[in-house]
């Protein structure tokens, strides 16, 4: 008994108790870990199964049409020369990247539209009762050309529309930029202020120039990229004068003030040109739609009397 209650005996009893506790709880801990790993594995399998079921239960366009379009786009991109893809990229940049389309997307759209319009023209040429035999040949060829060039014309229209918005907003934006620089702001801060106060394609381009300059791109290179993206003569001349003034050391505020005045004069001249072209554009509906109706109203009541006066006619 003395040995049992001695320090050595007490230490041995404590060690035995701790060992027993460890042996008792260790299988439970291992079992808990195994259960957790098994549950995680089963959850992963269930998620993978649900993803597969979602793909199978998706719409027809998501399961068939979109992968088919992507495969056609990849095949067309491999066959398209790199120069054509670069030209399409420039057109997309000038148009503001409508729909976040890429050059390969445009190539695929043109190819699919050409094939679809060709099939439509072929079907029209094979319809019974067509009185013009030339439609059997001209229909498919015309549909092929129309389907191939319509996406390009749509992109060119978006480009012209965006360039017109930039040209219209550039003089006022330069006035605000001049005021900001004369108030003590730096050129980068002035561009940022203009991009924050305005909304439109020009403000978006100014914000992109500021982002590029903050990333370390030199000012001249960022401005030249601005001119390449916009594709506008006004922006190109403004960038050229600004880069030259920056290299020479001329006051940027004075250059901006002069450029805004010149661009305002150009905007007024463009408005006068469109106003002078308006009578010519009005002439066509006036001759083909308004004059015939006017003649019918004025001469219609006199026609029966003329027929009675000249029965032989």
Domain assignment of residue 236, yes or no: yes
Average pLDDT over residues 6-20: 45
Measure the CA–CA gap between 222 and 246, rounded to whole angstroms.
13
Residue 242 has pLDDT above 50, yes or no: yes
Residues 174 and 274 in one domain: yes
CA 195 from centre of chain: 19
Poorest-pLDDT segment among 56-65, 175-184, 188-197: 56-65
Residues 121 and 145 in one domain: yes
Measure the CA–CA gap between 103 and 93, rounded to whole angstroms.
10
Q: State which of 113, 136, 160 marks the end of a domain.
A: 160
User: Band of the pLDDT at 42, cuts 50, 70, 90?
Assistant: low
Exposed (0-12), middle (13-18) or buried (19+): which is 191, by Cβ within 10 Å? Answer: buried
Residue 173 has pLDDT above 60, yes or no: yes
Domain assignment of residue 129, yes or no: yes
What does the mean pLDDT of the chain come to?
A: 75
Residue 13 has pLDDT above 50, yes or no: no
The count of structural domains within the chain is 2
Q: Domain range spanning residue 253?
A: 163-279
Q: State which of 124, 142, 160 marks the end of a domain.
A: 160
List C-alpha distances in Å: 106 to 65, 66, 100, 268: 16, 15, 11, 36
- pLDDT value for 202: 86
Residues 173 and 121 in one domain: no
Higher pLDDT, 66 or 165: 165
Average pLDDT over residues 293-297: 83
Per residue, what are the HEC states of 161-187? HHHHHHHHHHHHHHHHHHHHHHCCCCH
User: Band of the pLDDT at 44, cuts 50, 70, 90?
Assistant: low
Q: What is the CATH number of the domain that holds 185?
A: 1.20.81
Which of 165, 160, 158 is closest to 267 using CA atoms? 165
Residues 181 and 227 in one domain: yes
Domain assignment of residue 58, yes or no: no
pTM for the complete prediction? 0.64
Measure the CA–CA gap between 109 and 148, rounded to whole angstroms.
9
User: Band of the pLDDT at 46, cuts 50, 70, 90?
Assistant: low
Residues 248 and 200 in one domain: yes
């Amino acid at each position: 008994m003395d040995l049992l209650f001695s320090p050595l005996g007490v230490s041995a009893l404590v060690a035995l108790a701790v060992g027993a506790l460890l042996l008792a709880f260790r299988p439970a801990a291992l079992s808990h870990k195994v259960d957790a790993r098994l549950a995680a594995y089963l959850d992963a399998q269930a998620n993978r199964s649900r993803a597969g079921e979602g793909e199978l239960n998706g719409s027809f366009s998501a399961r068939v049409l979109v992968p088919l379009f992507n495969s056609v786009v990849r095949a067309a991109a491999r066959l398209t020369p790199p120069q054509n893809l670069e030209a399409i990229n420039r057109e997309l940049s000038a148009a503001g990247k409508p729909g976040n389309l890429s050059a390969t997307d445009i190539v695929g759209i043109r190819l699919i539209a050409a094939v679809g319009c060709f099939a439509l023209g072929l079907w029209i040429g094979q319809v019974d009762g067509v009185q013009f035999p030339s439609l059997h040949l001209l229909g498919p060829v015309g549909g092929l050309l129309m389907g191939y060039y319509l996406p390009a014309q749509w992109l060119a229209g978006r480009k012209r529309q965006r360039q017109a918005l930039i040209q219209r907003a550039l003089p006022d934006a330069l006035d605000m930029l001049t005021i900001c620089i004369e108030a003590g702001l730096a050129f980068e801060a002035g561009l940022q202020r203009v991009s924050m106060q305005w909304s439109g394609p020009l403000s978006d381009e100014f914000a992109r120039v500021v982002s590029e300059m903050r990333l370390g791109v030199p000012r001249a290179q960022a401005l030249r990229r601005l001119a390449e993206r916009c594709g506008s003569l006004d922006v190109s001349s403004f960038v050229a004068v600004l880069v030259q003034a920056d290299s020479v050391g001329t006051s940027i505020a004075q250059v901006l003030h002069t450029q805004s005045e010149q661009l305002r004069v150009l905007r007024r001249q463009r408005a006068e040109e469109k106003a002078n072209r308006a009578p010519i554009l009005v002439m066509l509906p006036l001759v083909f739609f308004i004059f015939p109706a006017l003649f019918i109203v004025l001469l219609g009541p006199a026609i029966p009397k003329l027929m009675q006066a000249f029965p032989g006619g």
